[in-house]
Structure 1
Amino acid sequence: MTEPEQGNGRATRVKICGLRDAETMRAMDGLPIDEVGFVFAKSRRQIAPELASELIAAARRLRNAEGAAPRTVGVFVNPTMDELRETLRIAPLDIVQLHGEESPSFCAEARSAFGVAVWKVLSVTPEDGADPDSDGSGRLQAYIGSVDGFLIDTAGGGTGKTFAWSVIDRYKEAAGGVPLYVAGGLHPDNVVELVKRYAPGGVDVSSGVETDGAKDMTKIRLFAERVQGV
């Protein structure tokens, strides 16, 4: 089963990740943003489930450009089922985004046990772009039927660097219709090129809409509106 599309009238969805304060959440009201993300893995953007609960409540009061509330996404790296259960008890997320070495069976179990959508993140290595015959897109195949979405990111995650976008079409084909989001080094000045050339299912940004480590509403607005305008 793949995640149902939510008819936003745009080919590419927008996810803003690494949110940590209600003021920024409130300022996003009315913008063409489809998902908002909160980091539970160890990171400088990590937040506690209790704060996430408050931000989820704030997100559900928002309306994007199509009149819908953005979906809430939690970022995890190799969590246990108990850790997911406790976090979701406090912070009722819509989507669990898994960045570690989680197996297809783990993804399927989390999806079934908690009634949430599950996205699997895969890292794109330099070798993926260097040799079209050995890119990592085949890794997606094992997860078909166990997840609701894929996200591909620069190896290492949170590097602020892009990967070789030439591999995106192969990853999209391998995803077999499951939505594919792209992250890694995106910002308002390069996202239009990405969307025009490769039309991913979604784009995910965090550091690219920050100034001095804090979310910058001018950059968030510019990023979302530029994607909407493609």
Structure 2
Amino acid sequence: MSVLKNTRLELKVCGMRDETNLQELISLSPDFIGMIFYSKSARFFNSEPIPLPKEIQKVGVFVDETFSEIIQAVMKHNLNVVQIHGNESDVYCSELKDFFPELKIWKVFSVGEDFDMGELLNYHCVDAIVFDTKGKNYGGNGTKFNWEILQDYPLQKDIVLSGGISIDDLPKIIEMKQRVPQIRIIDINSRFEIEPGIKNIKLVKEFSQKLKELQ
């Protein structure tokens, strides 16, 4: 996936699980909508497939899921992107890519104090790297990691920036993108919720509008 300095930042809203809330979100036309297919998550999506407009890409989030379960979910829910959040290997990602050549694969790396950027070099076939904050849960912890480490990012693959992002962080993200042009997608979740899986649509709209104004 090529990276251009003048590419606009795109918006992903993750952790949707309520159909009414999801329909409200669709009206804002984010670039990506994420649904978590991990049963231990408070934002577990366990509903029938919900069609999205073609301009909105549907992201399925999985944690150490079996290959067959991901295949079934991709086909059932017509996923555009699979975001893998566990200990899946590059071989696993490659096999998934071979099965669905058009499918985008994002690999999540949880950043703690001892994070090693060298881990990324083991993943060759993924389309983007998701940086999230290491915490007790697989995402949705509501905390940020030290974004300055992204200056040592060794790849040209797109970056999906996640982890406790709020509307107040937008100026800093815009500034970071000037130094790290691989930052391509902002992933928002817990800081925009009324409760786990239910988004404050007014706040998401404010964030989306401010993002467009700053670019």
Q: TM-score range by the shorter chain?
A: 0.7 to 0.9
Contact 1:148 1:179 in 2 (8 A): yes
Say whether residues 1:159 and 2:166 are aligned partners.
no
Q: How many Å apart are 1:151 and its aligned residue?
A: 0.3
Q: Where does structure 1 lack aligned partners over 5 or more consecutive residues?
A: 61-67, 129-135
Residue 28 (structure 2) aligns with: 31
Give the partner amino acid of 2:127.
D
Contact 2:7 2:184 in 1 (8 A): no
Give the number of the structure with larger relative contact order, counting CA–CA contacts within 8 Å between residues 6 or more apart: 2
Runs of 4 or more off by more than 3 Å in structure 1? 28-32
Percent identity among equivalent residues?
28
Contact 1:15 1:33 in 2 (8 A): yes
Aligned residues: 203
Scaled by the length of structure 2, what TM-score is found? Answer: 0.86
Residue 83 (structure 2) aligns with: 97
Question: Matches of 1:192 and 1:119 in 2, distance apart?
Answer: 25
Q: How many Å apart are 1:32 and its aligned residue?
A: 5.5
Give the partner amino acid of 2:111.
V
Say whether residues 1:196 and 2:178 are aligned partners.
no
Contact 2:141 2:164 in 1 (8 A): yes
Question: Matches of 2:27 and 2:70 in 1, distance apart?
Answer: 31
Say whether residues 1:224 and 2:208 are aligned partners.
yes
Give the partner amino acid of 1:207.
S
Question: Matches of 1:192 and 1:224 in 2, distance apart?
Answer: 13
> Superposed, which structure 2 residues align to 1:197-216 within 5 Å?
197-198=176-177, 200-213=183-196, 214-216=198-200
> Higher helix share goes to which structure?
1
Residue 41 (structure 2) aligns with: 43
Question: Matches of 1:149 and 1:220 in 2, distance apart?
Answer: 23
Q: Where does structure 2 lack aligned partners over 5 or more consecutive residues?
A: none
Residue 123 (structure 1) aligns with: 110
Give the partner amino acid of 1:38.
M
Residue 65 (structure 1) aligns with: none
Contact 1:149 1:180 in 2 (8 A): yes
